[in-house]
Chain A
Amino acid sequence: MATLVLLGGGACMKSKITFTLDGQTIEVPAGSTLLEACRQAGSEVPTLCHDDRLHPYGGCRMCLVEMEGAPRLVPACKTQVQADMQVRSQSEKLERVRTTIAQMLLSEHTPGNGVQEDQLQSYAKKNKVEAPLRFASSAAWEDRNRFLGFDPQACILCDRCVRYCDEVMQCSALEHVGQGSQARIQPTNGQSFLDTSCELCGGCISTCPTGALYEKQAVDADGKVKARVEQTEKTRTVCTFCGVGCVLDVHTHQRQVVKISAEAGVGSNDGHLCNKGRFAWQFIHHPDRLQQPLLRNADGHLQAASWEQAYARIREGFTRIQNQYGSDSIGFLASSRCTNEDVYTLQKLARAVIGTNNVHSCAAT
Chain B
Amino acid sequence: MTNSIAEIEDADCMLVVGSNTTEAHPVLALRMKKALRRGAALIVVDPRRTWLAERATIHLQLRPGTDIPLMNAFAYVILQEGLADFAYVENLTENFEAFAAAAQEWSPERAAELCGVDAEQIRRAARLYAQTEKAGIYYTLGVTEHVCGVDNVRSLSNLALLTGHLGRSSVGVNPLRGQNNVQGCNDVGNNPVFLPGYQLVEDEATRAKFGQAWDCTVPAAPGLRLDQMMDGMHDGRIKAFYVMGEDPVVSEPHAKQIESGFEKVEFVVCQDIFLNETSRRYADVVLPSTCFAEKDGTFTNSERRVQRVRKALDPPGQARSDLRILFEVAQALGVDWGEPDAEKVWNEFADLSPKFFGIRYPRLEERGLQWPCPDSSHPGTPFLHEGAPLRGKGLFYPVDHVPAWEEPCADYPFLLTTGRTLYHYNAATQTARSDGHLDKQARCFVEISPDDAREMALDSGSTLRVESRRGAIEVEVKVTDAVHPGVLWMPMHFAEARANVLTGDGKDPEIGTPEYKVTAVRLVR
Residues in A lying within 8 Å of B, measured CB to CB: 5, 8-9, 11, 144-147, 167-170, 194, 199-201, 217, 233, 235-247, 250, 252, 255, 257, 267-270, 272-277, 279-286, 288-296, 302, 307, 310-315, 317-321, 324-325, 327-365
Residues of B within 8 Å of A243, CB to CB, are 25, 176-183, 301-302
A91 to B288, CA, bound (A): 62
Q: Does B191 contact A (CB under 8 A)?
A: yes
Residues of B within 8 Å of A340, CB to CB, are 181, 184-185, 187-188, 297-300, 306, 346, 349
Residues of A within 8 Å of B297, CB to CB, are 339-342
Residues of A within 8 Å of B248, CB to CB, are 333
Q: Does B310 contact A (CB under 8 A)?
A: yes
Give B203 Cβ to nearest chain A Cβ, in Å: 13
Given the interface pairs A244-B28, A280-B437, A339-B322, the reply to whether A235 lies near B311 with Cβ below 8 Å is yes
Contact with A along B307-343 (1 / 0, CB 8 A): 1111111101111101100111111111100001010
9 contacts between A and B (CB under 8 A): A146-B436, A235-B310, A245-B368, A288-B433, A314-B329, A338-B322, A343-B189, A357-B192, A361-B246
Q: B10 contacts A360, CB within 8 Å? A: no
Closest B residue to A359 using CB positions = B190
Q: A352 contacts B241, CB within 8 Å? A: no
Question: Which candidate, B95-103, B211-219, B393-401, B461-469, is the interface stretch facing chain A?
Answer: B211-219
Given the interface pairs A343-B185, A362-B246, the reply to whether A351 lies near B323 with Cβ below 8 Å is no
Q: Does B345 contact A (CB under 8 A)?
A: yes
A269 to B440, CA, bound (A): 24
Most buried by A among B176, B217, B232, B292: B292
Q: How many residues of B contact A (CB 8 A)?
A: 152
Q: B434 contacts A361, CB within 8 Å? A: no
Q: A274 contacts B27, CB within 8 Å? A: yes
Give A68 Cβ to nearest chain B Cβ, in Å: 34
Closest B residue to A325 using CB positions = B239
Give B207 Cβ to nearest chain A Cβ, in Å: 9
Closest B residue to A286 using CB positions = B433
A348 to B196, CA, bound (A): 9
Residues of A within 8 Å of B242, CB to CB, are 330-333, 346, 349-350
Give B16 Cβ to nearest chain A Cβ, in Å: 15
Residues of B within 8 Å of A349, CB to CB, are 242, 326, 329-330
A290 to B136, CA, bound (A): 44
Residues of B within 8 Å of A275, CB to CB, are 26, 422-423, 437, 440
Contact with A along B11-32 (1 / 0, CB 8 A): 0000000000000111110100
Give B96 Cβ to nearest chain A Cβ, in Å: 30
Q: B319 contacts A290, CB within 8 Å? A: yes
Q: A302 contacts B434, CB within 8 Å? A: no
Closest A residue to B145 using CB positions = A365
Question: Which candidate, B265-273, B449-457, B471-479, is the interface stretch facing chain A?
Answer: B265-273
